[in-house]
Amino acid sequence: MFNHALDQTVKKLKAQLANILTLVNLSLGGYAIIAIINNQLNLGLLLIFLAALADRFDGIAARKFNCESELGKQLDSMCDIISFGVAPALLLYQGLLVELGAPGTFFAVFYIGCGAFRLARFNISENNGFFTGMPITVAGCLATFSFLFIPHAHPVFFLCLIILLSLLMVSSFTFKKV
């Protein structure tokens, strides 16, 4: 009897592992935003990259334990907009774009809007082995990684980068899933 109950508990945990990892992604993204607001930009950068790891593993867990669901897909998108939309935009904004005034503000928010659009489009499209538009996780990681080059590049580079990443997310280009 005890073994049966234990087996059922383990089965339920496996079924929820992907969602738990998705919520870890969200938590790390939320902590990144708080760190960035508190001017702990390097900590914010680290937390965004850790969120990317959690995001990678949630998909692996969902496929391995055959527990992909519509709820999981929606939850993943909600978390991704925080960790790879808001957090990277805020990191670049606080790190540099704030100095550009209104254009810096506009394009940081524009990036978030394009990310939200890209996620919504993904959630209503068929899974055919390709992404339409650059995945927000990729765009967010590239934006976050670019933060390391702030001391070495002109501010206009970062403005152009955030515009390019925004447009790639909403583009009709296809990217093979890996």
Q: Average pLDDT, whole number, for the chain?
A: 92
3-state secondary structure of 174: strand
Task: Give the pLDDT confidence of 10-40 residue by residue, as tens digits.
Answer: 767 777 898 999 999 999 999 999 999 999 9
Backbone φ and ψ for 153, nearest 5 degrees, come out as -130, 155
Q: Where are the domains of the chain?
A: 2-176
Instruction: Give how far Cα 63 sits from Cα of 2, 15, 20, 66, 169, Å.
Output: 28, 10, 14, 5, 24
- Looking at residue 85, its pLDDT comes to 98
- Looking at residue 125, its pLDDT comes to 87
Please name the CATH architecture into which domain 2-176 falls.
Up-down Bundle (1.20)
Nearest-angstrom CA–CA distance, 161 and 166: 8
* Residue 116: both structure tokens together: 């939200």
Q: Residues 6 or more apart from 96 whose CB is under 8 A from it?
A: 104, 150, 155, 158
Nearest-angstrom CA–CA distance, 90 and 37: 8
Give which of 61, 43, 49 is closest to 25, Cα–Cα. Answer: 49
Bridge partners of residue 176, in order along the sequence: 130
Mean pLDDT, residues 139-167 taken together = 97
pTM of the predicted model as reported, rounded to 2 decimal places: 0.91
* Residue 49: both structure tokens together: 């990259």
Mean pLDDT, residues 104-132 taken together = 92
Task: Give the pLDDT confidence of 80-111 residue by residue, as tens digits.
Answer: 999 999 999 999 999 999 999 999 999 999 99
